[in-house]
């Protein structure tokens, strides 16, 4: 079951994120985004009343009026990786991003993984950001034309360290 995260889930989310990445940096990022009030929403995958996956979307600060979201991180418990749970979280997250009014989503992720959801470095070519220019810097338009004109985005402070 995929659902919105609750404060009672935070400890379990920290464990899943740290285990998925093999170190605590991304779990600390999640904590900083929460503390700074930069989280748009978080989803969890729950199985037998246990959190086995997590995805977080935060707000990017754009120089235009459209709401642009950052997808980071997505994490799945190591024993459940490669069975479609991460893809289910991304798909559910993108649908929720639409419901939250996001016009587009940016991800800094694996160039072989995220294109299956419609992300592309080509779509991100008009976006000026700290991570721009990398093949891992990809965008997905949730509203037609959102990335057609140049745009500058700033990430929440939590991404800086």
Q: What is the CATH number of the domain that holds 107?
A: 3.40.630.30
Q: What is the mean pLDDT of residues 135-146?
A: 97
Q: What is the mean pLDDT of residues 84-94?
A: 97
Could you give the percent of the chain with pLDDT greater than 90? 98
Given this model, what pLDDT does residue 42 score?
98
CA torsion sign, 108 to 113 to 117 to 122? Answer: positive
Q: What is the mean pLDDT of residues 30-42?
A: 97
Given this model, what pLDDT does residue 160 score?
86
Given this model, what pLDDT does residue 101 score?
96
Domain that holds residue 67: 2-160
Q: Which residues of 74-87 are buried (b: 16+ CB within 10 A; e: fewer)?
A: bbbbeebeeeebbe
Q: What is the mean pLDDT of residues 75-81?
A: 94
Q: Please say whether the beta carbons of 55 and 90 come within 8 A.
A: yes
Confidence of residue 136 (pLDDT cuts 50, 70, 90): very high
With 70 as the cut, is the pLDDT of residue 161 above it?
A: no
Q: Please say whether the beta carbons of 19 and 77 come within 8 A.
A: yes
Q: Which neighbouring-strand residues pair with 151?
A: 127
Number of domains in the chain: 1
Reported for 132-137, long-range contacts at CB under 8 A and 24+ positions apart, including other chains, are 134/108, 135/111, 136/108, 136/109, 136/110, 136/111, 137/106, 137/107, 137/108
């Amino acid at each position: 079951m995929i659902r919105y995260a609750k404060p009672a889930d935070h400890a379990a989310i920290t464990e899943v994120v740290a285990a998925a990445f093999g170190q605590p940096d991304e779990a600390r990022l999640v904590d900083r985004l929460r503390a700074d009030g930069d989280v748009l929403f978080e989803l969890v995958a729950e199985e037998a009343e246990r959190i086995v996956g997590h995805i977080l979307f935060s707000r990017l600060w754009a120089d235009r009026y459209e709401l642009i979201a950052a997808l980071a991180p997505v994490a799945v418990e190591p024993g459940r990786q490669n069975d479609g749970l991460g893809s289910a979280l991304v798909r559910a997250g993108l649908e929720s991003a639409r419901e939250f009014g996001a016009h587009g989503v940016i991800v800094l992720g694996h160039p072989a993984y995220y294109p299956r959801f419609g992300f592309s470095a080509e779509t991100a070519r008009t976006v000026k950001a700290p991570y721009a220019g990398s093949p891992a810097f990809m965008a997905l338009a949730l509203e037609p034309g959102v990335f057609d004109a140049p745009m500058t985005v700033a990430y929440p402070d939590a991404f800086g360290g």
